[in-house]
């Protein structure tokens, strides 16, 4: 399809090339390397609109780059015999062409390790009162921090893991992080002080973030876009189920064997899955596989000029700098990234505040044992499943309707019919949970409240993440990284004041304060639904990356 008006086929080729690079880069977990003149935040705006908007910028060669780069690049590639590529579209060494049995075997072991690491975030929560007694700790701050510090590791780990995977491939990163996760979890089991336990929980979170950071990229390596849904569903069950199933099993285990056995069982399961992954896992990252092929051919032929077609002409130091600096620049200077990340971070912080305090609330208020208290987390899990089913169905339906009309834009990922009900469910759940526990209403009612909370939390996360991907396609990986870092920091910090908050204000007003904060955040996605495009395309708000 050609663009209307004066822009002809070469411009369409530029758009197609850019869209392809953007898609591949995001799927592989990094930003697209596109000339600065085309890599602006208004990537979803037609090029005929985007080019004039840059007229006053330093990138005055926008049109020349757009028109000439594709043909020049194609001609150079065709004339360069030293570029190493796959041996045709059916090359069996290309992960996209692997047999289904090999692909799904890889997905199975990936899903297993992706379940274990989120499980570790809350598996330990019901055993915290035992830890406090064993170490003689009375600080509410430490009681919460020993659980939430794991999530802080989820914020720090990806900053190292993501660029390392670009340099050395996915397989080595998976295996090294799996081994480190087992080692750090064992260290948690043998800890002899609260400080030692907190330190190794942080390190375990850093190592455990690997499958969450690059797992989606592995799936993109193996399957074309139209066949990824099933694999993505299986893989995403781990982050969804882990934090909910963890306390259910951990509660009974802590009651029967003590809190140390929670870590021993986690390390045993993680160790078994790590061995399984090391045995069945294979490298899937195309740039790494082609680099290995080029190295082999250089050795066999003696031609030292051979290099991978996908090789990045970027020094390792620059990869690290971009991975760390670009998300932070977007978080600080882009109003869309900042406010959307803050919206999700507040929701995420309240979620982990709930995870770290619910054990104390139900043990003290309702007399639950350390085993049965883990069952109270089921309400939140049920709510998340309901939210996922409703949101997934309605969001796809809305986008398909807009596609049929040819009017799709990123802001359609934020329909009021989804963002407002989802946003309202969150404070409703908090108010219901807070005041029913405060008044001692039957325990099933506050658990129903946590189900509403689960619906609202899942809705916020899914709508914002899909919007950020569509709105910042060129720099989608950095936008999501900024979102992840801020929400993980909030997830680690919010629980620190949870117990003290409830001791000071009571469960009713303490939770109401959180509910009012959540209520105040509801206008954020609604605002960007109507004004997001204007902000995205305004040169004043575009970050120089």
Query: What is the DSSP annotation of 56-121?
Result: TSS-TTHHHHHHHHHHHHHHHHHH-TTEE--SSTT-TTSGGGS-HHHHHHHHHHHHHHHHHHHHHH
Report helix, strand and coil shares of the chain as percent, to nearest 5: 80, 0, 20
Residue 430 confidence (pLDDT): 93
In a domain, residue 408? The reply is yes
Q: 154: which residues sit within 8 A by CB, 6+ positions away?
A: 121, 205, 206, 208, 209, 212, 484, 488, 491
Which band of pLDDT confidence, cut at 50, 70 and 90, is reported for residue 21?
low
257 and 347 assigned to the same domain: no
In a domain, residue 540? The reply is yes
In a domain, residue 263? The reply is yes
347 and 281 assigned to the same domain: no
More reliable by pLDDT, 255 or 264: 264
Residue 89 confidence (pLDDT): 84
Average pLDDT, whole number, for the chain? Answer: 78
C-alpha radius of gyration, the chain, whole number: 25
416 and 540 assigned to the same domain: yes
287 and 333 assigned to the same domain: no
Mean pLDDT of 22-51: 42
- As a dihedral over the C-alpha atoms of residue 106, residue 111, residue 114, residue 115, rounded to 10 degrees, the angle is -150
Distance CA 476, CA 482 (A): 10
User: Is the separation of the CB atoms in 277 and 178 below 8 Å?
Assistant: yes
481 and 373 assigned to the same domain: yes
Q: Which two tokens stand for residue 172?
A: 């080595």
374 and 432 assigned to the same domain: yes
In a domain, residue 61? The reply is yes
To which residue do tokens 């890599």 refer?
39
Q: What is the pTM of this model?
A: 0.73
314 pLDDT higher than 90: no
498 and 535 assigned to the same domain: yes
Mean pLDDT of 306-322: 78
More reliable by pLDDT, 462 or 277: 277
305 and 193 assigned to the same domain: yes
Give the end of a domain, one of 80, 104, 127: 80
Residue 148 is part of which domain span? Answer: 96-313
pLDDT digits (tens, 9 = 90+) for 185-212: 999 999 999 999 999 999 999 999 888 8
pLDDT digits (tens, 9 = 90+) for 163-184: 888 788 889 999 999 999 999 9
User: Is the separation of the CB atoms in 107 and 219 below 8 Å?
Assistant: yes
pLDDT digits (tens, 9 = 90+) for 344-387: 899 888 888 887 788 888 988 888 887 788 788 888 888 888 88
16 pLDDT higher than 60: no
Mean pLDDT of 389-406: 76
Distance CA 211, CA 77 (A): 34
Give the end of a domain, one of 290, 313, 336: 313
More reliable by pLDDT, 466 or 517: 517
In a domain, residue 206? The reply is yes
338 and 244 assigned to the same domain: no
Residue 477 confidence (pLDDT): 65
pLDDT digits (tens, 9 = 90+) for 278-289: 999 899 888 888
In a domain, residue 318? The reply is no
Give the end of a domain, one of 291, 313, 335: 313
Mean pLDDT of 59-86: 51
Which band of pLDDT confidence, cut at 50, 70 and 90, is reported for residue 126?
confident
141 and 104 assigned to the same domain: yes
155 and 14 assigned to the same domain: no
Mean pLDDT of 37-50: 36
383 and 458 assigned to the same domain: yes
Mean pLDDT of 490-509: 86
**Residues forming a β-bridge with 83:** 307
In a domain, residue 107? The reply is yes
CATH of the domain at 186: 1.20.1250.20
Number of structural domains found in the chain? 3
Which band of pLDDT confidence, cut at 50, 70 and 90, is reported for residue 324?
confident
In a domain, residue 85? The reply is no
Which band of pLDDT confidence, cut at 50, 70 and 90, is reported for residue 125?
confident
Distance CA 461, CA 466 (A): 9
């Amino acid at each position: 399809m050609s663009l209307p008006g004066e822009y002809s086929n070469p411009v369409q080729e530029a758009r197609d090339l850019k869209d392809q690079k953007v898609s591949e880069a995001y799927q592989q977990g990094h930003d697209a390397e596109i000339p600065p003149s085309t890599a602006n935040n208004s990537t979803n705006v037609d090029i005929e609109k985007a080019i004039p908007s840059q007229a006053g910028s330093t990138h005055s060669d926008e049109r020349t780059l757009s028109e000439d780069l594709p043909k020049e690049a194609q001609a150079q590639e065709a004339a360069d015999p030293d570029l190493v590529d796959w041996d045709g579209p059916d090359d069996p060494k290309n992960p996209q062409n692997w047999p289904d049995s090999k692909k799904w075997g890889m997905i199975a072991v990936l899903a297993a390790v992706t379940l274990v690491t989120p499980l570790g975030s809350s598996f330990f929560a019901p055993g915290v009162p035992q830890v406090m007694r064993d170490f003689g700790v009375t600080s509410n701050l430490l009681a919460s921090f020993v659980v939430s510090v794991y999530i802080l590791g989820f914020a720090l780990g990806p900053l190292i893991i993501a660029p390392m995977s670009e340099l050395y491939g996915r397989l080595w990163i998976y295996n090294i992080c799996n081994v480190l996760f087992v080692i750090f979890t064992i260290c948690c089991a043998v800890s002899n002080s609260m400080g030692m336990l907190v330190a190794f929980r942080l390190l375990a979170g850093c190592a455990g973030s690997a499958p969450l950071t690059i797992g989606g990229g592995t799936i993109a390596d193996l399957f074309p876009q139209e066949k990824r849904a099933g694999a993505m569903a299986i893989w995403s069950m781990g982050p969804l189920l882990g934090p909910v199933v963890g306390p259910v099993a951990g509660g009974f285990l802590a009651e029967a064997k003590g809190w140390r056995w929670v870590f021993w069982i986690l390390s045993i399961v993680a160790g078994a899955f790590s061995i399984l992954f090391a045995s069945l896992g294979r490298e899937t990252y195309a740039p790494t596989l082609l680099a290995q092929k080029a190295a082999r051919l250089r050795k066999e032929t003696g031609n030292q000029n051979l290099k991978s077609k996908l090789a990045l002409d970027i020094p390792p130091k620059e990869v690290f700098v971009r991975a760390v600096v670009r998300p932070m620049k977007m978080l600080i200077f882009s109003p869309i990234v900042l406010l959307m990340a803050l919206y999700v971070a507040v929701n995420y912080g309240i979620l982990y505040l709930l995870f770290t305090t619910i054990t104390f609330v139900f043990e003290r208020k309702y007399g639950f044992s350390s085993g049965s208290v883990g069952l109270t987390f089921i309400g939140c899990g049920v709510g998340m499943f309901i939210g996922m089913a409703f949101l997934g169905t309605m969001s796809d339906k809305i986008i398909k309707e807009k596609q049929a009309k040819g009017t799709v834009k990123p802001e359609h990922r934020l329909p009021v019919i989804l963002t407002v009900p989802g946003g309202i469910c969150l404070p409703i759940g908090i108010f219901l949970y807070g005041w029913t526990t405060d008044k001692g209403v039957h325990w099933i009612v506050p658990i129903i409240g946590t189900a509403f909370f689960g619906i609202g939390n899942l809705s916020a996360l899914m709508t914002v993440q899909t919007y950020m991907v569509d709105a910042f396609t060129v720099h989608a990986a950095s936008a999501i990284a900024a979102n992840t870092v801020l929400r993980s920091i909030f997830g680690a910090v919010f629980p620190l004041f949870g117990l003290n908050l409830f001791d000071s204000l009571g469960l009713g007003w303490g939770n109401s304060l959180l509910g009012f904060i959540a209520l105040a955040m509801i206008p954020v996605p609604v605002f960007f639904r109507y004004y997001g495009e204007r902000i995205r395309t305004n040169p004043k708000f575009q970050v120089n990356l």
